[in-house]
A and B are shown apart, each in its own frame.
Chain A
């Protein structure tokens, strides 16, 4: 199956990577103690690893071409068997019970596992919502927003500061934080949304960094790098909860928010507005020529995405009771982007799965957690190359019309 020629090429690839990684992976020099450590084992790993990977990619590629050839050869077999997941998604008979089961599991989760696990799950759910929020902007409207975390920060600081200065409680802060973030989205979005896609990405990145740097340096306003502590957890009807109860409470708030978000995003996706977003992502010029106001449509996506980020910011502040600018770096935006890209841009279920996998996996496999960011970076590259539509690609719904038509005729 693998020819000698291919083996030789993989061997050369392997050699190249050994050379490439030699200084950084093998040598470790300490200029103060003046010692050098030679880590030859790494060279060995790189050699084997890159050789195996290279062969694997070759095999996968040849099979792909073969499959394509076979498909074009037997044209009758055009009914490409849909993956199981799509079958489930499109059939309410499977989808509703499954969704019900997942909801029930989410509701009883805290009773099956301990507080620590519940806390982790809350974090994962927060990323689900953040992912769904960014999915509106990146996945549906096709606007690569690299400063998403700025809106998250706006939400978190809204709650922290409003609480510190005016004693505003969590439930008041939740909509206010969302509103502030949305307003920020509109203010920032207005000048930048007419930029071309890649410039937009860089400008949003710049804005995100500016906001973080301001939070870091404007001590009078935000208490600088030391951050704001003693942010109250959410209270229930004015009663202060014990730590355990508060964790449980936030968990259920998050479950509710996830459900609301899924509901809202799902409806948006199938609406006039959602279609306009997707059209905008596909072809801006055609979209405008069809009468869609580009700026307004983009701005709505931007502001709606920001709303969710703002809301999660409030939750984040309430959950950790402490925030500082270090929580709002570009890497945070990158993590959320990885979630969307892994899950599948525009695909709601994909983003949910993506968030759970990317947040929970490193938590449970501690050995992996050091390699977390390395993996996030790799995911962006690998997904773009091998599966740009994500693990669960978005399938457009079909609109039922014939039935209603026959109804009309009666």
Chain B
């Protein structure tokens, strides 16, 4: 039973991170219908920025709390900046191109960013500083759920509540919803669609960056390649929940996290990634609209 609960929590933690990244995929897809293949790299860049900033600050002797706040901020700022720039450079010129063109461009961006970080930093795994301390009050439960798990769950929940509020109640959130429903119409009623798209990339990237920071500090190491697998898994989560649907992304993330956790815990850990990929393939084949998404019939 204890093992079960342990797996449950580790699954939830993973799922929360997948959900944070999946939100970026789902929001972008909802608005411009593009699978932003480079989103995993944005998350990786977030993690790397956090790594660089926190290492520098810790060498300079900053207190832990300041390091956490500054590293988190830096990760969010730079990830957003990258997300924004990638959209402007690689996707915006292709907005009226055939559907596969922006996807190919996105794949190119993903490969480019991976190798950019590889060349500018290193190909080795880097030890990530442990930013989240072991809390004393967590002591009695530490054998089933660690402090960092707890922090991840709390922070992601807060982020999601924040995102929901943003989308429901702010001007830009309403513009996002309008644009994703009907871009032409949104343009006609005077919404600046370019601005909405940029905002979507910025918000999605910032969420991914927080995910990157949390998971890197949880696992304790990063390298340039972490974005690839995490990206695909998060995309799986997004599709599972129904791409374009925000609650779907969260649901998909949690289901995927739990599946992985239990499958590796009870079946075999060798095939960890195979479970996720198989799930991806199966959903796309049998229910491409996902759990909460709408099936679309192409208008002719």
Contacts and interface: CB of A to CB of B under 8 A. Distances in A.
A304 interface: no
B108 A213 contact: no
A144 B103 contact: yes
A36 B56 contact: yes
B129 A384 contact: no
B85 A384 contact: no
B288 A199 contact: yes
A373 B45 CA distance: 18
B94 interface: yes
21 contacts: A20-B78, A23-B49, A27-B52, A28-B121, A31-B127, A144-B103, A198-B100, A206-B232, A206-B277, A206-B284, A210-B277, A331-B111, A374-B112, A377-B108, A377-B112, A377-B115, A380-B104, A380-B107, A380-B111, A381-B109, A384-B97
B277 A330 contact: no
Contacts of B2: none
Contacts of A146: 107
A210 B100 contact: no
A31 B285 contact: no
Nearest to A329: B228
A285 B277 CA distance: 30
B85 A20 contact: yes
Contacts of A16: 85
A210 B281 CA distance: 10
A265 interface: no
Contacts, number: 169
Contacts of A341: 104
A191 interface: yes
7 nearest A-B pairs in the assembled complex, by CB-CB distance: A380-B108, A377-B112, A377-B111, A29-B55, A381-B108, A374-B115, A384-B105
Nearest to A29: B55
A213 B277 contact: yes
A202 B235 contact: yes
Nearest to B243: A199
Nearest to A200: B284
A192 interface: yes
Interface string B260-286: 000000000011011001101100110
Main secondary structure of the interface of B (DSSP, over half): helix
A273 interface: no
A336 to B, nearest CB: 12
B284 A384 contact: no
A381 B89 contact: yes
A23 B74 contact: yes
A22 to B, nearest CB: 8
Contacts of A395: none
B28 interface: no
Contacts of B129: 31
A257 interface: no
A384 B120 contact: no
A205 B276 CA distance: 13
B48 A24 contact: yes
Interface string B82-116: 10010001100110010111111101111111111
Contacts of A214: 274
A323 B239 CA distance: 34
Interface string B102-145: 11110111111111111111000011110000000000000000
Interface string A190-203: 01100111110111
Nearest to A210: B277
Given A20-B82, A27-B52, A374-B119, A203 B104 contact: no
B103 A373 contact: no
A218 B222 CA distance: 27
Interface residues of B, number: 65
A202 B36 CA distance: 11
Contact of A24 (B99, B117, B284): B117
Contacts of A374: 111-112, 115-116, 119
B270 to A, nearest CB: 4
B35 interface: yes
Given A24-B121, A142-B100, A144-B104, A385 B90 contact: yes
Contacts of B280: 202-203, 206
A182 interface: no
A330 B271 contact: no
A11 interface: no
Contacts of A27: 52, 56
B284 A388 contact: no
B142 to A, nearest CB: 25
Given A24-B121, A205-B232, 15 more contacts: A20-B78, A21-B120, A23-B52, A24-B45, A28-B121, A197-B99, A198-B103, A201-B103, A213-B274, A370-B119, A373-B111, A374-B119, A380-B107, A380-B108, A381-B108
A24 B48 CA distance: 8
Interface centre among A142, A337, A388 (most CB of B within 10 A): A388
B115 A373 contact: yes
Interface in B284-300: 284-285, 288, 298, 300
Contact of A25 (B103, B104, B120, B284): B120
Contacts of B160: none
Given A195-B285, A381-B90, A29 B274 contact: no
A388 B96 CA distance: 13
A32 interface: yes
B81 interface: yes
A217 interface: yes
A281 to B, nearest CB: 9
Contacts of A142: 100
Contacts of B111: 331, 334, 373-374, 376-377, 380
